[in-house]
Amino acid sequence: MSRMPAQVRDLIRDLPDSKIREVSMNSIGKEGMIALWFGESDEETPSFVREAAKAAIDAGETFYAPNSGIEPLRVEIKAYMERVYRRDFDLNRFTVTASGMNAIMLSFQALVDPGDNVLVVSPVWPNCSETIRIMGGEIRPVGLDETDGAWSLDLQKLFDAADGRTRAIFVNSPGNPTGWMMSEDQRDAIMAWAREKGIWIIADDVYARLVYDRHHAPAFIEIAEPEDRLISINSFSKSWSMTGWRLGWITAPPALETQLGKLNEYNIAGPTTFVQHGGVAALRDGDPYIDGLVERLRRRRDLVTQSLSRFSRVRYTQPDAAFYAFFAVEGMDDSLKFALKLRDEAGVGIAPGIAFGPQGEGYLRLCFASSEQALSEAMERLRPYLDK
């Protein structure tokens, strides 16, 4: 029997498939595979978070919740943000979301009309930019420069990319995949320019606590006034090892609370209720866990850096934050093809740089949030492919 083809919007039909998923397809859980392709720790969610969620289930917290999130979690987010950034926040600035990715989608749904453009500091996790395309907006990537062993952002290049249709700037700092982190001076300059131009800043702050030489990364939320055109996005996935829980939050001007609540209603009606109680425990009791995680990641970063620096085909900038090694490979002109080769021949799963946009071609991304034993074995397996 013949079937009618699925009729979807051309824009959706033409969205690219995830190159990271393409590499991992049919290989997740494969015996002997060292999987370093996804951006997540190999640690289980801490027990105090799991116990809080289980207790919430046992207490019957299984019904619909308010669109903006349960009050105990919003109160705890307020306390956490005030503790980290040392300033006061009103409760009506916080909207709980079903993950950082959901927060990104809600933000672009709220702001971007067809024909608008958004400046995107790149390379960047592809889901961040493709949500702009889904809304009918134009992605304007502004590439980071890799010079003298460091990633840097040319602010003039960023500002020059804007025009009368520029609606927002998307800044992921600390960045995925590079580990780049903007300085206070850059943050201040972008904030001042955006205020002058009336342009929104959407700040992806999900790696803000995974920093190796300070307590947290410089953030727009530290200097913004409540009414500034700033949306800060956060997630429980990275700092609290809760990737599968799908929980995050937005900090925005108070005037957006009702609008973001409506968008939550029409997307998901609200994040899972008992999961939010796990989030309460993460924020309330999780600072020691984050401190320990950063120290473990520091050791793993140093292990990977030591190995990659010895491989003759590799050019690598050690990250200041996040948990990725993003490195160039001499003679590699097709990162997807090369990543598939490493998967099939070496048994090491790495994300291809092209997955993060054209600016990422020529690079590979390795997530080092795995055990030192797994990383050491991965480096040995990769040596024949990365060393002359």
pLDDT digits (tens, 9 = 90+) for 268-325: 999 999 999 999 999 999 999 999 999 999 999 999 999 999 999 999 999 999 999 9
- pLDDT for residue 328 is more than 60: yes
The band of 1, judged by pLDDT with boundaries at 50, 70 and 90, is very low
Query: Which domain, by its residues, includes 77?
Result: 61-286
The predicted pLDDT at position 16 comes to 82
Q: How many residues does the chain have?
A: 388
163 with 14, same domain?
Answer: no
Tokens of 172: 């992921």
pLDDT digits (tens, 9 = 90+) for 30-48: 889 999 999 999 999 999 9
35 with 80, same domain?
Answer: no
Tokens of 131: 């949500």
Q: Which among 286, 314, 332 is the end of a domain?
A: 286
Average pLDDT over the chain reads 95
238 with 257, same domain?
Answer: yes
CB-based contacts of 387, cutoff 8 Å, min separation 6: 310, 311, 312, 313
266 with 309, same domain?
Answer: no
DSSP β-bridge partners for residue 166: 117
- pLDDT for residue 12 is more than 90: no
Tokens of 114: 């067809």
Interaxial angle between packed helices 287-308 and 273-285, expressed in degrees from 0 to 180 and rounded to the nearest 10: 80
Rounded to whole angstroms, the Cα distance separating 237 from 228 reads 27
Structural domain total, the chain? 2
Tokens of 189: 């300059």
112 with 129, same domain?
Answer: yes
* SS3 assignment, position 200: strand
360 with 264, same domain?
Answer: no
| CATH number for position 213 | 3.40.640.10
Of 84, 95, 256, 112, whose CA–CA distance to 170 is shortest?
112
What is the 3-state composition of the chain as percent helix, strand, coil, each rounded to the nearest 5? 45, 15, 40
Structural domain includes residue 350: yes
236 with 90, same domain?
Answer: yes
270 with 325, same domain?
Answer: no
* SS3 assignment, position 204: strand
Q: Which among 261, 286, 311 is the end of a domain?
A: 286
30 with 74, same domain?
Answer: no
